[in-house]
């Protein structure tokens, strides 16, 4: 995402908790900041992509947080997959600084980010979205404004819990295929070309068949998203039974050492049982 912004000749400052990851952008003309506050100083648009609530809170808040460096009138874009509660808390903190927050998590993986084909699920004001549109247009192909603050965050959790459920069901199907002595190639072809064959199922099956679990989206983050979705549904008065079952399967995979591999490795974890 930072590479896309830089390639469009926007002035860019970058910060990463692992400074080595910022180095390539420095070599391409970006300013490498020593803190989130330094990266945010003087920026009209401040974008965050981070792993979870704890990391997001640490990046935005505190003496060296991005909010401390944000100028009045700037638009903050939080692209991470987070809880609705934290997003609303962050929006309130931004408002106290005279800034506006868009919660704008994305769908897509590394290849989509590199080619500028992410989809943004957006909560927040129309005015803030209009201000952010030129930068968002460099990073994505679709911008869906879903409503007020928290709407994007909620939709992303719904999206990801459904993805996790599909991956977990494919993992259990793969176990049955193996245990029942079926030909894996033929069985996967039936599943991926038939009614169950969503895009996610097709990609996960292809990775499993190729035994390639290089992470585009790490398995431990899918488990995190399932947990967030379960908690959010509970706040709304519902028990996500399918997500809870899927989370158990993903936790098994993490216990087996697959947490840092692509989430499709959940299939491999079930085959080992």
The predicted-structure confidence for 103-127, as pLDDT tens digits, reads as follows: 999 999 889 999 999 999 999 999 9
Compute the distance between CA of residue 166 and CA of residue 191 in angstroms, rounded to an integer.
12
**Residue-level pLDDT at 98:** 98
**Residue-level pLDDT at 127:** 97
Which residues lie below 8 Å from residue 101, measured CB to CB, with a gap of 6+?
Answer: 75, 76, 77, 78, 87, 90, 91, 94, 95, 124, 128, 149
pLDDT at 26 exceeding the cut of 80: yes
Which residues lie below 8 Å from residue 85, measured CB to CB, with a gap of 6+?
Answer: 235
- Please check whether residue 229 is in contact with residue 184, taking contact to mean a CB–CB distance below 8 angstroms: no
**Residue-level pLDDT at 273:** 55
Which sequence spans correspond to the domains of the chain? Answer: 2-148, 154-271
Give the burial string for 153-171 (b: 16+ CB within 10 Å, else e).
bbbbbbbbbbbbbbbbbbb
Q: Do 154-271 and 2-148 have the same topology in CATH?
A: no
Fold of 154-271: 1.10.1040
pLDDT at 158 exceeding the cut of 60: yes
What would the pLDDT profile of 228-273 be if each residue is shown by its tens digit?
999 999 999 999 999 999 999 999 999 999 999 999 999 999 986 5
What would the pLDDT profile of 164-218 be if each residue is shown by its tens digit?
999 999 999 999 999 999 999 999 999 999 999 999 999 999 999 999 999 999 9
What would the pLDDT profile of 28-58 be if each residue is shown by its tens digit?
999 999 999 999 999 999 999 999 999 999 9
Compute the distance between CA of residue 13 and CA of residue 11 in angstroms, rounded to an integer.
7
Polymer length in residues for the chain: 273
- Please check whether residue 151 is in contact with residue 144, taking contact to mean a CB–CB distance below 8 angstroms: no
Compute the distance between CA of residue 216 and CA of residue 202 in angstroms, rounded to an integer.
15
**Residue-level pLDDT at 95:** 98
- Matching CATH number, 2-148, of 3.40.1280.10, 1.10.3720.10, 3.50.50.60, 3.40.50.720: 3.40.50.720
- Please check whether residue 104 is in contact with residue 75, taking contact to mean a CB–CB distance below 8 angstroms: no
Which residues lie below 8 Å from residue 107, measured CB to CB, with a gap of 6+?
Answer: 118, 119, 121, 156, 159
- Here the tokens at position 119 are 């989809």
**Residue-level pLDDT at 272:** 61
**Residue-level pLDDT at 271:** 83
pLDDT, mean of residues 154-159:
98
Q: Which of 21, 88, 110, 156 is catalytic?
A: 156
Does 268 qualify as catalytic in the annotation? no
Count CB-CB contacts under 10 A for residue 192: 19
**Residue-level pLDDT at 268:** 95
Q: Residue 14: pLDDT band by 50, 70, 90 thresholds?
A: very high
pLDDT at 81 exceeding the cut of 70: yes
């Amino acid at each position: 995402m930072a590479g896309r912004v830089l390639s469009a000749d926007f002035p860019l400052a970058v910060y990463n908790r692992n400074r080595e990851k910022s180095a390539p952008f420095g070599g391409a003309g970006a300013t490498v900041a020593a803190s989130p506050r330094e990266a945010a100083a003087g920026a009209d648009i401040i974008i965050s992509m981070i792993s979870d609530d704890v990391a997001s809170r640490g990046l935005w808040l505190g003496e060296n947080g991005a909010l401390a460096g944000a100028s009045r009138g700037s638009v903050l874009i939080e692209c991470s997959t987070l809880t609705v509660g934290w997003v609303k808390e962050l929006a309130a903190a931004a408002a106290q600084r005279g800034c506006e927050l868009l919660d704008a998590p994305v769908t897509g993986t590394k290849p989509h980010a590199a080619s500028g084909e992410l989809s943004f699920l957006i909560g927040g004001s129309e005015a803030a979205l209009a201000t952010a549109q030129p930068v968002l247009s460099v990073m994505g192909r679709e911008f869906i404004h879903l409503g007020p603050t928290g709407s994007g965050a909620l939709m992303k959790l719904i999206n990801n819990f459904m993805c996790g459920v599909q991956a977990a069901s494919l993992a259990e199907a793969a176990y049955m295929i193996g245990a029942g002595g079926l030909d894996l190639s033929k069985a996967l072809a039936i599943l991926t070309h038939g009614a169950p064959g969503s895009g996610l199922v097709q990609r996960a099956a292809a990775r499993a068949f190729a035994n390639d679990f290089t992470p585009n989206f790490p398995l431990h983050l899918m488990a995190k998203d399932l947990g967030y979705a379960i908690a959010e549904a509970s706040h709304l008065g519902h028990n996500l039974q399918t997500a809870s079952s899927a989370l158990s399967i993903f936790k098994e995979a993490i216990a087996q050492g697959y947490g840092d591999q692509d989430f499709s490795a959940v299939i491999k974890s079930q085959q080992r049982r």
